[in-house]
Amino acid sequence: MRAVYIHIPFCKTICSYCDFCKMFYYERWSSKYLIKLKEEIEDLYDGDEIKSIYIGGGTPSSLNINEIKYLMNIIKTFKTTSNFEFTFECNLNDINEELLTVLKQNKVNRLSIGIQSFQKEILNVLGRNHTFQEAKEKMALIRSFGFKNVNLDLIYAVKGQTLKMLKEDLKLFLKLNPDHISTYSLMILPNTLLWLKGTSSISEELDAKMYFYICKELSKKGFKHYEISNFAKNNKESIHNLTYWNNEEYYGFGLSASGYLDQIRYSNTKNLNKYLKGDYRANEELLTKKDIMDNELMLGFRKIAGINRVEFEKKYHIKMEDAYPIKPLLKNGDLEEKKEYIFISRDKLYVMNEILLKMI
């Protein structure tokens, strides 16, 4: 079974930190885009069974209601499993009864909301504008429609943010009773507004303190820390994102979307004019067995449970410790072993990339 990611590049406002492919919403462009998206899916979908669909962006909820209905009709092209996960990203300000009605009618069963923070100073830096009271009202509305799987995004390590401010944010996030929280340490990426303004990052020491505080606090509140940046309650881990971390195959449709099918990793163009002409692909790469194994490690070690070495051997016909320097990393404490699993030590998660570099 495969997963499907669909990219909607339109936004009503542009956040200062975002480096995803996005542009301001204009109906004359969005309507053309959706027609071409339908054509891409009809051309390239193989008709296989789909276990998860994720509509991200950009801001999918920036589309008008008729466009969202059109998008949902496109989705009906896919053959889905009976218990498939269907995630739709929303901006808090776009959530209303009309939107939730359409999503519910079309089998969306997971919402992901980019709240990021409730601190006014932080929201100003990020280019966001909402209050805790608004979020509380919208969450109550979402629950009244029967949505039982809601993710909230939290951004931390923002210039000017203190540990006290993060603690206050986390307390307010927990008051909203989400089923899943995704946390992101702010990265100042090239060509974002923050980068263009010359914004600097906070100290690594404070960043690490914030990360480990989040891990400790969410664990105390009943969240399972299942991936380096993700926390879930009541078996609400993201099926879609686990597809990536398990190095499984998925389709990517839409501007800038990436996919992984039949040993080929591909990325779509970020150029809207090219996309509207049907010139979807920017690049394709046929992966070697070594490439796929390297990806298995880079993605799999993001999971707190790590990688099942028995399954690894079945999959690649080689023991993990024969392909990579696992034993010395177990010896020095970077890695740990429990039953069939090898994983990065919890106190080393913050320096995961350094450990991966030692292996690959």
Q: Say if residue 139 is in the same domain as residue 230.
A: yes
Q: Are residues 192 and 336 located together in one domain of the fold?
A: no
Tens digits of residue pLDDT in 217-273: 999 999 999 999 999 998 999 999 999 999 999 999 999 999 999 999 999 999 999
Shared domain check, 85 and 171? yes
Residues 203 and 62 in one domain: yes
Q: What is the CATH number of the domain that holds 16?
A: 3.80.30.20
User: pLDDT tens for residues 198-228?
Assistant: 998 999 999 999 999 999 999 999 999 999 9
Res 21: pLDDT: 85
Q: Which domain holds residue 331?
A: 307-360
Kindly state whether residues 231 and 312 are assigned to the same domain: no
99 and 227 together in one domain: yes
pTM for the structure as a whole: 0.95
pLDDT tens track for 126-163: 998 899 999 999 999 999 999 999 999 999 999 999 99
Averaged pLDDT of the chain: 96
> What are the tens digits of pLDDT across the range 297-327?
999 999 999 999 999 999 999 999 999 999 9
Instruction: Tokens for 73, please give them.
Output: 């009709």
Same domain, residue pair 207 and 130: yes
> Which tokens belong to 142?
């979402």
Burial profile 175-214: b = 16 or more Cβ within 10 angstroms, e = fewer: ebebbbbbbebbebeeebebeeeebeebeeebbeebbeeb
**Domain end (from 244, 259, 276):** 244
Q: 123 with 26, same domain?
A: yes
- Does residue 185 sit in the same domain as residue 327? no
User: From CA 161, how far away is CA 203, in angstroms rounded?
Assistant: 11
Identify the domain boundary among 244, 264, 291. Answer: 244
Is 293 a domain residue?
no
Total of domains in the chain: 2
Does the residue 254 lie in any domain? no
Query: Can you give the pLDDT at residue 206?
Result: 96
